[in-house]
């Protein structure tokens, strides 16, 4: 069973460009979470999505950032008009339906995308 | 809001020795999950161990065990027989009803040969 996949692993953008980060959850997982990690800090929650629905976007900046998880294909985190402060590692995690106890509340993380804004 | 505090920015241990990493959290929820993740230089987040708050028994995974004190809101990680490959950043995390995870700032563990 392949793990959570993220691409690209490294992304370089100039200020004002758009960044698109992709996340393919583990097989059988329908819940996706995006986190941002600034240098020397822990991960900060951004958004939680199920297929075709944004469940919780309380951690996402109100402007320039958007996320989607379409019925088919990977989840996309889009950052428009990037600025230097957007430089960070962006992690995606996935889990199965979080409706029961057991192993279902564990989030499995992808390798992350390191975004550098020049 | 739930907060997670790791008061040790850095820790060091001699190979084959035991080290304990501290974590405290603040919550008003009664049912939640606690995790320790390891982040090596590759930056991959690797689940080390998890604990359900409703379970009194401390979780154990091979050389890794936790000391979960629910009343004190403490969740420390003990690594026994430390190995060079254990060197990494370790993050304590909390997950409650709202599905997102709250992470501490991390503890950088160095293992000396």
Residue A101 has pLDDT above 60, yes or no: no
Task: Write phi, then psi, for B85 (nearest 5 degrees).
Answer: -70, -5
Residue A98 has pLDDT above 60, yes or no: no
What pLDDT shows up at residue B8?
A: 95
Contact list in A for residue B46 (CB cut-off 8 A) is 109
Burial of A85 (0-12, 13-18, 19+ CB in 10 A): exposed
Q: CB-based contacts of B85: which residues, under 8 Å, 6+ apart? A: none
Over residues B9-30, the pLDDT tens digits come to 999 999 999 999 999 999 988 8
Contact list in B for residue A53 (CB cut-off 8 A) is none
Banded pLDDT at B91 (limits 50, 70, 90): very high
Count of CB pairs separated by less than 8 Å, A with B? 61
- Output the CA torsion A77→A78→A82→A88 (10° steps): 10
Over residues A31-54, the pLDDT tens digits come to 899 999 988 788 999 999 998 899
Residue pair B8/B90 in contact (Cβ under 8 Å)? The answer is no
Minimum distance, in Å, between the CA of residue B79 and any CA atom of chain A: 20
């Amino acid at each position: 069973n392949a793990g959570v996949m993220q691409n690209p692993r490294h992304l370089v953008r100039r200020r004002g460009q758009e960044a698109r980060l992709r996340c393919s959850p583990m097989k059988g997982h329908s819940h996706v979470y995006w986190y941002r990690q600034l240098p020397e800090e822990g991960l900060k929650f951004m958004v939680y999505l199920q297929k075709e629905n944004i469940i919780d976007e309380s951690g996402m900046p109100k402007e320039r950032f958007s996320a989607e998880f379409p019925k088919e294909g990977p989840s996309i985190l889009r950052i428009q008009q990037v600025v230097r402060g957007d430089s960070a590692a962006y992690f995606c995690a996935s889990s199965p339906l979080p409706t029961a106890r057991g192993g279902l509340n564990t989030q499995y993380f992808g390798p992350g995308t390191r975004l550098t804004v020049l | 809001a739930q907060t997670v505090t790791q008061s040790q920015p850095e820790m060091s241990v001699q190979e084959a020795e035991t080290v304990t990493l501290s974590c405290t959290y603040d919550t008003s929820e009664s049912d939640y999950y606690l995790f320790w993740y390891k982040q090596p230089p590759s930056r991959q987040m690797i689940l080390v161990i998890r604990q359900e708050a409703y379970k009194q028994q401390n979780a154990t995974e091979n050389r890794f065990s936790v000391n979960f004190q629910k009343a004190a809101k403490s969740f420390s990680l003990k690594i026994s027989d430390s190995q060079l490959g254990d060197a990494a950043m370790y993050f304590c995390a909390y997950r409650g009803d709202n599905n997102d995870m709250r992470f501490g700032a991390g503890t950088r563990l160095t293992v000396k040969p």
